[in-house]
Structure formats: C-alpha cells, structure tokens
Amino acid sequence: MSPFNNKWVQQILALQHEDGSWDCFHALSQPTKEQLMTTEQALRRLRILGLTKDDEPIARALSYMEHNLLQPHPTVFHEKKHNSKTYGDLMLAAWIRLFDSNNNAALSIAKKWAKVITCTFQSGEYSHTEYVAAYESEFTKLNPKAGCLADFVVFYQLALLPGLLSRKIESSMLDYVLIHPRGIVYIYNSRLDTLPEQFASRKANGYLSALELLSDYSLAPKKLRFAVDWLKNQQDENGLWDMGSVVKDGIHFPLSYSWRKVEDRKRDCTSRVIRLLDKLEVGRYDE
C-alpha cells in the first residue's frame, strides 16, 4: 500500500510549505499543540512512515535543505554559543544523507567530519585534544561551550558518518559511543551498553531509536549483538513485541490509524523491531 494513503502522512504533507520546509527547522522532539511540526520532526516521521527521496514531498524538502546548505550565512540555526554556520550545515547535511547518502553537497560536510573522527580515534582511543585540533583544522575555533559541537556523540554527527570511516576507526568510535555516559544527544540520555529495565517504556523507545541510528554502520551487527539478544527475549509467546501505549509519541508510533485495538499496537511494535533486527543480523557473524 502506498504510504500516501496513510492518514498520518497526509496530515504532515498538508502542513508542508511551498519551499519544501515545515517552517522552523530545528527540533527533534515530538510535536505539541503549540508546535505542530518542525521540518526535522516532519522528516523524521515521514521517514519512519516509509517515504523516500523518490517521493515528491521529500524531493522538495531535500532541495530546500541543499539550497540552504550552499548558502554562505546561517539560515536554519541561530544560537550565540554555537558556530551557527557549522552547526546549521551539520544538521542539514545529516538529514540530507539520511535520505540520500550520495548527495554531493552533504558528502562534502560529512567527509570533513569523517576526517575529524579519524584523527580523534587514530590511537585507537578517544582523544579530546585530537578532536579539538582536527575540528579547528576543518572548521573554525571551537568554543568550549559549543554544546553539540564540543562533543560528537550527537544524532547529527552519527547520522553523517556511515560508510565514511575505516573499519578500525569505526570500531573504536562505536566502542566509545556505547559507553558514553550521556548516550546520544537528542536521541537517548543513558549509556547504550546498559539495557533498559522495561521494554514497554519510553526509555526503551528511545533506546530503539539509538540502535536504529547505529544500525547503519557496517560493524553494528557485531557491536550490538547484546541488544539483538535482548530484543529477541522481549518476544511474547505469539512471536510479537509490545512496547505498551506509553510509547505513542507521534513520531515512531503509531503506524496504524489507531491503537484502540491492542493487536494494532502489537503489529506496529513488531514491525519496528523486525526492521531493526533485519539490519542488525545481516552479516552478524562476519568478523
């Protein structure tokens, strides 16, 4: 069935502006009554609902983002504690690559970050000194209070890098990400090597988001074996998964029109887990 027949897709597309955006760009959190949809929220939801770069609304959004990426001055992000142009480019490039990993404009930004991460983990372990030096070589002076630029374990940087790191560097980086005490900024705020206590919880919902982000890396099947085992243990006697009604966030869930029926909720949860397991079990035993 075409995703355009989905009522959630139709509601989001009704809010899209002529330029391909949804007005304000930055905000990954779930929609509210005061803020129905940002561009990031819309893209995140539409990607989950199955739209791709080949769909006209996404193509328009990609054109909007690429146009802004090529501008010499900040257009989508303004904040004094950050380097606005660098951070704005990072956000735009990350979202473009999530839909089109071969986009040249986004790749030029991603390759700079790949150089930064390669220098950061050249010794096999994280070096903040090397991170700062490499960042300043590729971009500009790093403000110690630059928030999500002062550390790379952030949704945007991690969305940019799949396919651009050597196996050695990717391995070291993922090891570091898994033990990072703050988790992944904007996605999950706890260590990833520690499993959520309850599967039917908002925390587990965020944890799955982190796993989905990391699943694009070639070494994810090897590094996340413990999470695969955990997911399989959450299956019920009928082979289904149920995260409970608490995870209905307007972004990841629902996929069905309604969760009035428990079986619809279980079907949505099961669909999400199976998609993730399919990615994490490809080449799982390759070394």
Selection from 182, 251, 198, 282 nearest residue 41 by Cα: 251
Q: Which of 188, 212, 247 lies at the terminal end of a domain, its last residue? A: 188
Lowest-confidence pick of 32-41, 72-81, 241-250: 72-81
Q: Which of 188, 203, 233 lies at the terminal end of a domain, its last residue? A: 188
Residues 137 and 98 in one domain: yes
In a domain, 120, yes or no: yes
Scan for tokens 């096999």, then name that residue.
124
Helix (H, G, I), strand (E, B) or coil at 159: helix
Please give the Cα distance from 268 to 270 (Å, whole number): 5
Residues 184 and 199 in one domain: no
Residues 174 and 217 in one domain: no
In a domain, 242, yes or no: yes
Lowest-confidence pick of 8-17, 80-89, 162-171, 212-221: 80-89
pLDDT for position 283: 55
Residues 20 and 93 in one domain: no
Q: Which of the pair, 126 or 33, is modelled with greater confidence?
A: 126
pLDDT above 80: residue 221: yes
Q: Which of the pair, 71 or 185, is modelled with greater confidence?
A: 185
In a domain, 47, yes or no: yes
Neighbours of 214 (CB within 10 A): 23
pLDDT above 50: residue 287: no
Q: Which of the pair, 38 or 28, is modelled with greater confidence?
A: 38
% of the chain surpassing 70 pLDDT: 92
CA distances in angstroms from 197 to 175, 203, 210, 240, 260, listed in the order given: 22, 9, 16, 19, 26
In a domain, 217, yes or no: yes
pLDDT tens string 82-110: 577 888 899 999 999 999 999 999 999 99
Please give the Cα distance from 61 to 43 (Å, whole number): 8
Which of the four pLDDT bands, split at 50, 70 and 90, describes residue 285? Answer: very low
Number of domains composing the chain: 3
Residues 40 and 90 in one domain: no
pLDDT for position 1: 57
Q: Which of the pair, 38 or 192, is modelled with greater confidence?
A: 192
Scan for tokens 């035993």, then name that residue.
285
pLDDT tens string 140-194: 888 877 778 888 999 999 999 999 999 999 999 999 999 999 999 999 999 999 9
Which of the four pLDDT bands, split at 50, 70 and 90, describes residue 28? Answer: low
Selection from 58, 26, 55 nearest residue 39 by Cα: 26
As a whole number, mean pLDDT of residues 130-147 equals 89
CB-based contact 115:122 (threshold 8 Å): no
Task: Return the amino acid letter for 116.
Answer: V
Angle between helices 104-120 and 84-99 (to 10 degrees): 110
pLDDT for position 197: 96
Residues 168 and 211 in one domain: no
pLDDT for position 102: 96
pLDDT above 70: residue 274: yes
Q: How far is CA 41 from the centre of its chain?
A: 11
State which residues form the domain around 117: 81-188
Mean pLDDT estimate for the chain: 91
pLDDT for position 43: 96
pLDDT above 80: residue 241: yes
pLDDT for position 33: 63
Please give the Cα distance from 39 to 12 (Å, whole number): 10
Residues 181 and 199 in one domain: no
Token pair listed for 21: 């955006």
pLDDT for position 145: 75
Reported as type and span, the H/E element at residue 176 is: helix 167-179
Residues 157 and 116 in one domain: yes
pLDDT for position 25: 87
- Report pTM: 0.92
Please give the Cα distance from 230 to 235 (Å, whole number): 9
Please give the Cα distance from 113 to 94 (Å, whole number): 11
Neighbours of 144 (CB within 10 A): 7
Residues 100 and 166 in one domain: yes
In a domain, 89, yes or no: yes
Reported as type and span, the H/E element at residue 106 is: helix 104-120
Residues 63 and 94 in one domain: no
Residues 51 and 86 in one domain: no
pLDDT for position 77: 65
